Structure formats: structure tokens, C-alpha cells
A and B are shown apart, each in its own frame.
Chain A
Amino acid sequence: MIAACPLEALPPGASFRLDGENPIALFRTEDGQIFAIDDTCTHQDASLSDGWLDGCEVECPLHSSRFDLRTGEVDAPPAKRAVRTHRVVVDGGTVFVEPSGCDG
């Protein structure tokens, strides 16, 4: 588990980028749910945490590929491959992420 950010750094509608070898994007939806997915779009190197949150989906800022935050699946091209999802735990006002294994 990695301590990603304080909960208050992630108000509804916001995103947070957890840097690292495989950067992770955290999103808090308008209804308060927090999700973590790979930050890098599978189509081209773009940061999904810079994208636009729309319900439980994020739209890549570069080419508008859309990923489902719950499953990582692609909902709109040009991306074809899903991003990985990661488990999120909130404890004591801190958001923790458990990165998935390499095989997703």
C-alpha cells in the first residue's frame, strides 16, 4: 500500500497523479467514490489525471479516449487496450493505493 495523498487533496471532481515508474491517477467522482487507474493512456503517452472526469469515466485530454474508472476498459477510441485499475483504501484521512501486479 502506498500513501498517495490526503483525502482533502482529492475533492469531488478532482484528480491526483501519483508519480512513479508506472504513474497512477486517482479520481474522486462527484458522488464521492475514489478510483485509481494507470495514469498513462494506452494510446499515447498522456496523463489521464489531466483528463476530464465524467461520471465514472475519464476522457484522455489528448485524443478523447475514454476509460471506465471501475474496470479500466476503453469506452471510446482511439485507445484499444484497457488501463489497469488499482485498489484504493481511505484510512485516517489519507488515500492509500495498492498497485496491481504487472500482469494487471
Chain B
Amino acid sequence: MTTGTPATTGTPAATGTPATTGTSATTGDLPPSLVATLPGDWYVDPAVFALEQRLIFESMWFCVTRSADLPAPGSFRTAVVGRESVLIGRGRDGTVRAFFNVCRHRGARLCTEESGTVGRAFRCTYHAWTYDLDGRLIAAPNLTKMPDVDRIGYGLVRVHVREWLGYVWVCLADDPPPFEDDVLGEVVTRLGDARAIDRYGVADLELGRRIRYDVAANWKLIVENFMECYHCATIHPELVEVLPEFAAGYAAQYYVGHGAEFGERIEGFTVDGSPGLDRIPTLSPEQDRRYFAITVKPQVFVNLVPDHVILHRMFPLAPDRTIVECDWLYLPDVVASGRDLDRSVELFHRVNQQDFDACERCQPSMSSRVYARGGVLVPSEHHIGGFHDWVRAKLAGTGSPGAGSPGAGPQDAGSPDAGPQGAGVSRDTPGDG
């Protein structure tokens, strides 16, 4: 990482990467079984991460919080989206709104807590500029002597909001991409039918458990891990017990609308295969006894099983640090009854720990000189190349070639399978979790 411009696949880094014995293979030498990953510095270079913040996290729809995390007017939560802090709050009319968490006066961060409740307004603790829950500037010292200060013009800057699956999604772009394409489109890609997820009634489920993981790994390692099951038989013994087909390494991801089937003697999606909780009654017979997974790029994983839904939200904070919030959602009666969820939660909690441990094991090596050109994908992982194409295309969309623009060479932007959306989306295939 001496140039700040990571080499793209097939373009060996020009400097600083001496070809020592044992690392002389270039991506051009790969046998057909293997496909190159992204170069190592794409996972550690602050310049790459800065581009991802701007061109991915701040440009796409980003799932920040559960709508029910904002139970009443004045409830708020803050979240890191790209380089920005976003303030999400529920107004007096019950509507969820989101704003840049920046006081319009001198830029102080308005809400410093991660979540909380305000009575009537967001008040800056610096000079007391005060905004109502709609973001309008309602008061400030001496404001009446400044009648030319427009209270909407100097109100909080709004962020686009959508609610789906009972979650609040925000988009920091001035002109957000169509939610139907970018978010709902991922469901169609994976399940073959947008209505398939409707049968889970995710928005009507209740939070049974939430676990937050602070992962010392680049967000892309976590996505890549979720997309493949080559590792399943090695690191996920409990999961493979429940979903035996995962042992083959080829999981559901090669098919549209295919869910991994429970093993014969498995009674439920639990850590020991014991019965789970109440089955979601609106599922189709084809959805019973199966596990489906969807990756909603860039930061959401949805896992669907007959009695619950597991939803991961990633918050990339640094090239080597990602917060993952994972929610286990059940039928309201199940949660209200206080029934024991431990064996149900434990299965995917272990999967999460096993996965994140693996990602953390990879992260330090991303800056190793032997990984400068990246690693390789075996056939059951080749579809991850679609994710890499997608990342490349997103970062190439800068329109500003030059410094710090990884993979922005014309060969990438013009590559036939690196279309801005198409190839990456269609080939993105979540796997085991």
C-alpha cells in the first residue's frame, strides 16, 4: 500500500510489492478453478474506506434502526452512516424523520447519546439552538432579534427515510436510488419473488433478543463470509447439523428461491435441533423447515426460518472495525409469553461468533505483503467475485480519476461484467450467515 491506489485484479501493484519466493503468482497465472479476490489493501487502506463511505454508505439506502426502537414521540437514536452521524427521531405526529446530527449554528453534534428520548425538541448543548422534532429551528438566544434567520432554512438538514420490514432505512444522497430497485430488488434476486418475504410478516414480529458485535474486521470480509459456505463444515458444526446441505460448501446461494432444508431429525432452528418457537402462520409450505438468506447490500443480512427472522445491520466505522447489530425477531405472542429463547438465539449467535472470529483472523493479514494481490476464490466462492465487481463499479463511479480512486481504471468501469449495478446484484448470493 505504497501508492494509495490499490491495484485492480490483473494489475499487479506497481511499487512496493517485491515478488518474493512463493508469492510470485500473479492473478494472470490462476488456474481456472481459482478467481482472484480484491487486493489486500482494499481491506485496510483508509483511502479505499473513504471512497466506500462516500460512494456506498452515503449514497445507498442504509438500514439504521428498528422502527420499534423509537416507541414514542421524542424517541431518538443516532447512527453512523458513512462519515456522518445521523439522528433518527419520532415526531409528535408519529412520523419517523432523520437528520444530519449537526447543529446548523457552529456544527456541534446535536445528540451525543446513541439513543434516548427528548421532551419536545433537540437542543444543542453548546449555544442552545433548539429544533423541534420536525427539525425546524424553534429557538435560539437572541433569535427574535434576527428575524431574517429562516427557521426552516436553518433547521436540521433532512435525510431521506423509508420504513420496511419494521426497520428505518435512510439515504444520505440528495437523490436517493429507487428503494424498489436497490432494496426490494435484492429480495427478488434471492427469493425470486418479493412476496416471499411478505409471508414472514417481519414488520409485525417483535424483538426477542439483540446482540451487538464489535468486529475488528473490514465490512467486506463480513459480507464475503456471509456469501459463502465453503467454511461451514469447518467452523459451523451446529449450523451444519441443522442444515446438512451446508456441509457440501455449496449452499442455497446458487439458486433463486432455494432455502437450505433442515436435516431429517431436526425439529427446529435451534442450537441442538430441538423444537423452536411458534411457526409464523402465514408461511407457505415450501417455506417450512427451510432457511433462506438475503444480503441487502451494502450492510444488511436477512435470515428467514419458520419461527423467527434474524436481521443483521452492519455499521462500518473504520477499515478494520465494523459494529454488527443482530436482532432475533419472533411472533409477538412468543415474546410476550416470556418463553425461553436461549436455544433458538444460541444457534445463530454461535454462527455469528464463529464467522466474526474468522473475519478477525483475516483482517491482520490484509496488509501482509504476501496478500498484496489478494487471495483466491474456489468454485463454491466464485460468486463473491460478483460482489467484488459491484464494489469496484461503485468506487469507479467517482467520475474523478486519480488519487485514491481504487480500481477506477477504465478497464474496470468498462468491464462487461462490472456494470454499475447489474452484474454485482445478480451475482450476489448470500449463503450461510
Known: A50-B138, A62-B128, A62-B130. A45 touches B120 (CB 8 A): no
Distance of A51 Cα from B139 Cα, bound (Å): 8
- Write the nearest CB–CB distance from A8 to chain B, whole angstroms: 23
Query: Shortest beta-carbon distance, A68 to chain B, in Å?
Result: 19
Report which residue of A17, A23, A45, A59 has the largest number of chain B beta carbons within 10 angstroms of its beta carbon.
A45
Please tell me if the beta carbons of B123 and A45 are within 8 angstroms of each other in the complex.
no
* Total contacting residues, chain A, CB less than 8 A: 15
Question: How many residues on the B side are at the interface (Cβ–Cβ under 8 A)?
Answer: 13
Give, as a whole number of angstroms, the nearest-CB distance from B129 to chain A.
9
Chain A interface, DSSP helix/strand/loop, else mixed = loop
Q: Report B133 CB to chain A, min CB distance, Å.
A: 12
Specify which chain A residues have a CB less than 8 angstroms from the CB of B142 in the assembled complex: 45
Contact A46 B143 (CB under 8 A): yes
- B136 CB to closest chain A CB, in angstroms? 11
Complex Cα distance, B139 from A17, in Å, reads 13
Q: Indicate if the CB atoms of A63 and B145 lie closer than 8 Å.
A: no
Residue interface bits B309-340, CB-to-A below 8 A is 1, else 0: 00000000000000000000000000000000
Scoring B residues 115 to 145 as 1 if CB is less than 8 Å from chain A, else 0, what string do you get?
0000011010000101000000011111111
Those of A42-70 within 8 Å (CB) of chain B = 44-47, 50-52, 59, 61-63
| Residues A46 and B139 in contact in the complex (CB < 8 Å), given A61-B130, A63-B128 | yes
Give bound CA distance, A44 to B120, whole Å. Answer: 19
Which of A23, A45, A51 interacts with B141 by CB under 8 Å?
A45
Say whether, besides A62-B128, A63-B128, A47 and B121 are in contact (CB < 8 Å).
no
* Contact (Cβ within 8 A) B145 A45: yes
Q: Which of A39, A40, A52 has a CB less than 8 Å from the CB of B120?
A: A52
The chain B residue sitting closest to A62, CB to CB, is B128
Please indicate the chain A residues that have their CB under 8 angstroms from the CB of B140 in the complex.
46, 62
Q: How far is the CB of A30 from chain B (nearest CB, A)?
A: 16
Which B386-423 residues have C-beta < 8 A from chain A? Answer: none
* Interfacial chain B residues near A47, Cβ < 8 Å: 139, 143-144
Task: Please determine whether B144 and A23 come into contact, CB atoms closer than 8 angstroms.
Answer: yes
Roughly how many angstroms separate A17 CA and B141 CA in the complex, as a whole number? Answer: 16
Residues from chain A with a CB closer than 8 A to the CB of B141 are 44-46, 62
Chain A positions 60 through 92: 1 when the CB is less than 8 Å from some CB of chain B, otherwise 0: 011100000000000000000000000000000
Given contacts A50-B138, A50-B139, contact A62 B145 (CB under 8 A): no
Known: A46-B141, A59-B120, A62-B141. 8 other contacts (CB 8 A): A45-B141, A46-B128, A46-B140, A50-B139, A62-B128, A62-B130, A62-B140, A63-B128
24 contacts between A and B (CB under 8 A): A17-B144, A23-B144, A39-B144, A40-B144, A44-B128, A44-B141, A45-B141, A45-B145, A46-B139, A46-B140, A46-B141, A47-B139, A47-B143, A50-B139, A59-B120, A61-B121, A61-B130, A61-B138, A62-B123, A62-B128, A62-B130, A62-B139, A62-B140, A62-B141
Please provide the 10 A-B residue pairs with the shortest distance between their CB atoms, ordered closest to farther. Answer: A61-B139, A62-B128, A47-B144, A45-B142, A50-B139, A61-B130, A44-B141, A50-B138, A62-B139, A45-B141
- Chain A interfacial positions (CB closer than 8 Å to B): 17, 23, 39-40, 44-47, 50-52, 59, 61-63
